[in-house]
Chains A and B, each alone.
Chain A
C-alpha cells in the first residue's frame, strides 16, 4: 500500500524493519496478483458456465408430476428453480382454506419460497410451454412410472402417459409396456416414410420448380430482349407452356406419392393421457423422439443424450430455430470460412512476400506496414458497412444488370450472399494473415538465404525452396487465426448475408452446385438471433448455450492449433540457428 510512496534512497531511514517489510510490497503484490486471478477467474468462470450449461442441456431429466392445492395436476421437466419472495397478491388468488397453509409455509422460510420452472409442454392444450410452480402450491409430488416425453416436429414437447397404441383407429396395445414396445417397433418404418416424404417435398418438387422457374425466366428474358409480341418471345412462351404442362403432371405424381405416404403414416397413433386427465391422440409421424423418462437407466439416458447431440449437429432447426439441429448453420459457417480462407491466404501471402522480400525498405513500406497492422484494429462492423455498400450494392448490382437482368428487380447478387460475406471477412482478416506471414518470413534467418544465394540460387528459387517452407508453419498459423477470427465474427455478417433461416444450403446437388449468391446461416448469427430476437427466449436459451459451446469449441480448437503450430515454428527456428 505504501511501497510506491516510500523513498528508499536514504540509508538512515532504509534500515528500519518497517521499511524493509514495505520494500517487499507484499500487499501490492497481492493486488497485482489479484488482477491476474480476476482475469483468470473471468475466463475460467465463463468457460465453465458455457460448458456446464451447454453440455447439460441434452441430458434427459425426470418427469415430475405435481398435484396442486387447486386440485389440478401438472407434469413436466424441471428447467430450473429459484428462491423468491412471493407477493401478497399471489396468496389472495388462492382459495380460502389453502391460504393459511401457504402463508405459514412461506413464513416458516423467512418470507421466501422455492419455485421451479416446469417445462409442461402440451402447447396446443395449455397455450404455454413453461409454468412456475411454487412450493406452497404443491400437495403431492410423484414420478409417474410411465410418463413419456414426446419431442415433436411441431408445437414443442408433449408429456403424457400412454393409454393405447392405435393402428387405423383401433387399439392394438393397451398397457404401457405394450404401447412402448409397439412404438419401438413401428418408429423406424414411420420415420423412414417421413424421410421419404420430406425428400419428395424438398428435392423432387424443388427440382421441378427449378425447371419451371428457368423456363419462365427464359420467356421473360426473351420478352425483355426482343419485345413482347416478337416471334422469339412466342417461341419462349410455347416452350414455357410445354414445360409447365410437364411440370404439372410431375407435381401431381409427386403429390399423390406424398399423400399415399401420409395416409400410411396417419394410421399409427398413440393415445396419451395428460396430467390434467385429457386424452389426446398423437400421430407417430409427428414425433421425433419419445422416451419414458422415469424408466431410463444410465445407458438409456446416455442413449437419449447422444441421440440429441447427433440430431443437433446433423439436423435442420425446427420451431423457429429453438429446437432441432443447427446443421445448416454449421455448414454455412464452414463453407463461408473455407471460401474466406481460400480468398485471403494467397493475397495475404503475396502482400507479405512483397513487403518483406521485394519492396525496398523505407518510409513508404514502413508506413504501409503500420497501416496494415492497424487495419486489424478497425472495427469489424466497418468492414460490414463496406461489404454491403461496395460488394452488394455496387458490384452485385452491376453483376445483376449484366447477367441476371431477367430476374430484376429481385436482386440475385445485389443483396447479401455467401460470396460477399466471404469477401468481406477476407478483407477483415487480411491483416492477420499478412502480419503472421511477415513475422514468419522475418523469422527465417538471413544466413539461410545467404547460403542459398551462395549456392547460386535465384531469388525466387530461394523464396520457393528455402524461405517459404521454413515460413510455412507461420503462414498456417496466420491462416488458422484468420479462420478463427472469421468464424467468430457476426457483426459484419449481419449486413452482408447471414440470415435467421436459409431455405437452401449454399452447396447442393442442383447445378451449378455452389450457389455463391445465396444467403446462409451462421453459428454466431444463430446465437444472436436465438438469444436476442427469439419470441420464446426461455425455450431457446438451452439451445443458445449448446450452440455457444459448439462455436467456442470450434474456435478454441482452431486457436490452440495455431498456438501449437507457433510453438513448433519457434522450435524449428531455434534449432536452425545451431
Chain B
C-alpha cells in the first residue's frame, strides 16, 4: 500500500512538473530560434594560402578573384591577362597539413591574343566582360564544375584518404564525400566571340548586365563615346548554329568641363541606365532605356569631400545600389529614387542613401555578396569591414595580419568565406547568417533601395535572390494594434453594458439561459467568423456604408427615445414588464436599425455628395460629414454633462415629469446635433479634413468589418469575466444600498460597478489579449496589406495573419523564418503580459470582494 502511495506520488510529481516544464518550453524554444537573429556576425582570422611566388609571377597583380560555393577552388584574373585556378579555403587549410603545396596553380586560361584595355566583373553573374584596343568586347564565363567518381575508378594511393579530406588530384581539387565516392572540383572558362563595338577606338571602360531579354553591354571608347549594346542570341533550329545579333545606341559624353575620360562605367542591373564615373567624383548618368536616343539623365557629384578622390566604385548585388569608396576612407551607398518632379530625363534621381562612415584609411577594395545585401570593404591599412547596406550596420571587422592593404576582396557565393589579395592570397571565414537583422532594422524606418525616404515596410520575399527583403515589423505591429483598437471600440461597451444588465437587472431564470447563450458565442470557431466576415458581411456592408454610419447614431437615439416614451406609460404596466425590458430594448434596436436604413441614404445625399465611396476617395465634397463622426460623440458627451447639471432649466419645461424628461432629452439631442454640425462645419471651413487619416478610400475588407466580427470573439470573453466579477459582489452591499433608499440603478452604478471595477478591468485586458492574437478573422477579412493607415475603411496585416500566410513558405532557419518566430514571440509576450496583469488584478479583486 505504501508502495502504491509513493509510486503515485512520484508519478504525479514527475508527470505534473514535466507537463508544466513542457509548456514552458514553448517560450524557451521561441527565444532559442529568435536569438541567432541578434547574434553579431563573425569574421575569422585573415590567413594567407600558399606564397605568391609559387602562384604568380613577381610583377603579376590580381585584378579579380572569386571562390566557389564549396570553398574548394578559387579562380583569379591577373594583370598578365590570364585566368588562374587555385585550391580554395577548404582545401588549403588541410592541404598544408597533409604536405600539399597550398598555393599550387591548378590551371590557367589565356583567352586573349592581346591584353584587354578595360574589364568588369559584375556581381553574381559568372561572366566577365573585357574591352580591347581594337574596339571589341568579349564575354568570358567562368563556371565551377564538379565531377563525381566512384572509388573503384580511383588509383590505390588516394583510397587511404579519409572521408571529408581534401587533396589535389589530376590538377583538380578532390574530396572524399563517402566511402565510395569522390568529388573533383575545378573551374572551366568559356570565352565568347569578340563583338565589334566601336570603329577602331580603344575601349576604356566597360560593363555588362544580364537582363531577362539577354545580355547588355556598355562601353566607353577613347573618343568619349558611350555605347550600349544589346545582344540577342538566336539558334537556328535546322543547323543548330547560334547567331548573335546586336543592337547598339551611342551618345558622346560631353561633361561641362574637360576632365578626360571616365574611370569607371557602370550599367544598371535592368540595363536601362548607365553611369560614367570620373575619379574626382563627377558622374554622368545616362538613360539608355531607348537605344535609339540615349539621353543624359543627370550629372551628380559622388565624392564625399572635396579633398578626396574616388578609389573604388562597385555595384551591390542586384546592380541598383552603387557603393562608392574614396581616398579618405568614406563609403557611401547611392541608388535611384523616383524624382519628385520628374526633373530628369527618366524621372529618377540618384541619391546617397546610406553613409557607412569613415574608415581608417583609403578604400582599396569592395566585394559584394552574391546573395545578401552585404559588402566587404578593404582599407589601405589592411583593415577589412563587413557592412550590411540595407541597415547600414557594421557587421564585423578584421585586420590583415601583414597590414598590407587588400586590393581585392571577394565574398564566396554562400557568404561563408572570403578571399582577398594583398600581394598574396588571403582567406577568412565569414559568419554572418542574418546580416539584415537588427533591432533597428526590424522596428525603425529603413531606407530601402528605390524608396524616396526611409520607410516602414514589410515585404519579405520575392522570386529573385537580388531582391532586398524588407523586414520592418512595425506595419504588422501597427496592423495588430489597429485590429485590436477597432474591435475593442465595438466590443467593450456592448460587453460591459450587457454584463451590468445581466448581473443587476436580469431575473435569475432568464440569466441562466442568456449567459450560456452568449458564452456559446465564444466557442464559435474563428474560421467561421472569418468566412462570414469576408464572404457574407463584407459585400453586404460595402453596399450600405451610409446606413452603417447612420446606425451609429440612430440606434442609441431610438433606444433612449423609446426609454423616455416608456416612462410615460403608467407605473403599473411598467413594473409588470420590468423583466422583459431588454426584450423591448431589442425591439428598439431593430427599430433603430430600420431608422438607419431610412436615414442613411438621406445622409449620403446630404453630407457625402450622394456617393459615400466617391466622397471617401477624397476627391470631392466637403469634410463636414467626416468630422461629424468625431464631433457628434463629443457634443453628446458634453450635453450629457451640461444637461445633467442644468436643474433649473428643467422646471421651465411644461408637463408631467415624464414629459419633462422626454422634452429635455429631445432638446438636448437637438442641441448636441446642432453643436456637432457647427463645429464640424467650422473645422471643414478651416480646411481640416479627416480623409487621409481616420477615413479614406473604401476597401471591401477593412477594419470596420474586422471590428464588428471580432466582436463575436471578444464580447463573450469580456462579458463572462465581467459578469462573474459583478455577480461576486456580496449581496449585503446591494441590500444595504437599497435599504438606504437607493434605486436599483443607483445601486448598480454607485455601489456594484465601482466595487467590481478591477474585475471589469481585468475582463477588458483578457479581451484585449484575445483580440491581439486572433488569426483567422483578420487573415480572411482584413485584406492583409501591410499599410500604415488608421483609416477605418482600409485593411491591414497583423502579426498573426502574417505568420499564418508566410511561415509555411519560409525557408527553415533563414532570416525570414526567424523574423516570423520573432513575431510569434512578440505575440506570446504581449498576450502573456496582458493576461498576467489581468490575473493579478483579478486575484486582488477577489481578495477584496471576500473581505466585504
Contacts and interface: CB of A to CB of B under 8 A. Distances in A.
Interface of A: 1-6, 8, 13, 17-18, 20-44, 46, 49-50, 227-229, 346-348, 350-355, 357-359, 368, 370-386, 388-390, 393, 427, 430-431, 434, 458-461, 463-464, 484-485, 487-491, 494-495, 524-525, 527-528, 531-532, 537, 541, 544, 548, 551-552, 555-556, 559-560, 563
A386 B33 CA distance: 10
Contacts of A43: 517-518, 520-521, 712
B743 A23 contact: yes
B35 interface: no
B337 interface: no
Contacts of B534: 531-532
B5 A459 contact: yes
Contact of B831 (A368, A377, A488, A559): A377
Given A458-B1, A524-B525, A372 B828 contact: no
A531 B12 contact: no
B291 interface: no
Contacts of A431: 23
B645 interface: yes
B12 A32 contact: no
Nearest to A530: B531
B711 A42 contact: yes
A253 B746 CA distance: 87
A488 B780 contact: no
Nearest to B765: A377
Interface stretch (B373-381, B397-405, B833-841): B833-841
Given A31-B560, A42-B711, A18 B661 contact: yes
Given A25-B749, A528-B776, A33 B585 contact: yes
9 contacts: A23-B743, A46-B532, A229-B180, A358-B16, A384-B803, A388-B807, A488-B525, A527-B527, A528-B779
A442 B535 CA distance: 45
Contacts of B497: 31-32, 34-36
Given A21-B661, A359-B16, A430-B23, 15 more contacts: A3-B745, A13-B647, A18-B661, A23-B743, A27-B560, A32-B500, A39-B495, A43-B520, A350-B19, A370-B843, A374-B836, A379-B772, A524-B525, A544-B531, A544-B535
A3 B746 contact: yes
B502 A379 contact: no
Nearest to A6: B644
Contacts of B452: none
Contacts of B647: 13
Interface of B: 1-2, 4-5, 8-9, 11-13, 15-20, 22-26, 29-30, 33, 150, 152, 179-180, 493-498, 500-502, 505-506, 514, 516-518, 520-521, 523-528, 530-532, 534-536, 555-556, 559-560, 562-564, 566-567, 581-586, 588-590, 640-641, 643-645, 647, 650-651, 657-658, 660-661, 665, 668, 711-712, 715-716, 719, 742-746, 749, 766, 769-770, 772-776, 779-780, 800, 803-804, 807-808, 812, 820-821, 824, 827-828, 831-832, 834-836, 839-840, 843
A419 to B, nearest CB: 16
A434 B586 CA distance: 39
A27 B563 contact: yes
Contacts, number: 369
A551 B525 contact: yes
Given A42-B712, A460-B4, A544-B531, A36 B16 contact: no
A452 B496 CA distance: 45
Contact of B803 (A3, A385, A459): A385
Nearest to B824: A385
A358 B827 contact: no
B581 A33 contact: yes
Given A26-B566, A381-B824, A495 B661 contact: no
B834 A377 contact: yes
Contacts of A385: 30, 803, 807, 820-821, 824
A427 B821 contact: no
A389 B808 contact: no
Contacts of B644: 1-2, 4-6
Contacts of A359: 16
A24 B743 contact: yes
Contacts of A548: 528, 531-532
Nearest to A380: B775
A461 B514 CA distance: 41
A555 B780 contact: no
A351 B528 CA distance: 33
B521 A377 contact: no
A5 B15 CA distance: 57
Contacts of B559: 27, 30-31, 34
A25 B746 contact: yes
Nearest to B826: A382
Main secondary structure of the interface of B (DSSP, over half): helix
B824 A382 contact: yes
Contact of A524 (B1, B527, B643): B527
Interface centre among A33, A358, A434 (most CB of B within 10 A): A33
A380 B589 CA distance: 35
Contact of A34 (B5, B517, B588, B824): B588
B455 to A, nearest CB: 27
Contacts of A555: 523-525
A39 B835 contact: no
Interface centre among A1, A353, A371, A495 (most CB of B within 10 A): A1
B518 A8 contact: no
Contacts of B585: 30-31, 33-34, 36-37
A229 B505 CA distance: 86
A58 to B, nearest CB: 19
B9 A383 contact: no
A386 B29 contact: yes
B180 A227 contact: yes
A354 B12 contact: yes
Contacts of B643: 1-2
Contacts of A370: 836, 839-840, 843
Interface centre among B9, B24, B770 (most CB of A within 10 A): B9
B478 to A, nearest CB: 17
Interface centre among A36, A351, A487, A488 (most CB of B within 10 A): A36
B520 A348 contact: no
Nearest to A532: B780
Contact of B774 (A3, A374, A379): A379
A25 B776 contact: no
Given A26-B566, A32-B498, A378 B773 contact: yes
Give 6 closest A-B pairs by Cβ, nearest first: A379-B773, A354-B16, A35-B497, A5-B644, A488-B525, A25-B745
B515 to A, nearest CB: 10
Contacts of B769: 377
Nearest to A389: B33
Nearest to A82: B543
A39 to B, nearest CB: 5
Contact of A30 (B11, B29, B180, B588): B588
Given A35-B497, A37-B589, A385-B820, A17 B657 contact: yes
Contacts of A384: 803-804, 807
Contacts of A5: 640-641, 644-645
Contacts of B824: 381-382, 385-386
Given A36-B514, A351-B20, A31 B15 contact: no
Contacts of B494: 35, 38-39
A32 B800 contact: no
Contacts of A3: 745-746, 749
Contacts of A348: 19
B152 A229 contact: yes
A314 B779 CA distance: 30
A348 B19 CA distance: 8
Contacts of B496: 35
Contacts of A26: 563-564, 566-567, 745
A552 B344 CA distance: 61
Contacts of B746: 3, 8, 23, 25
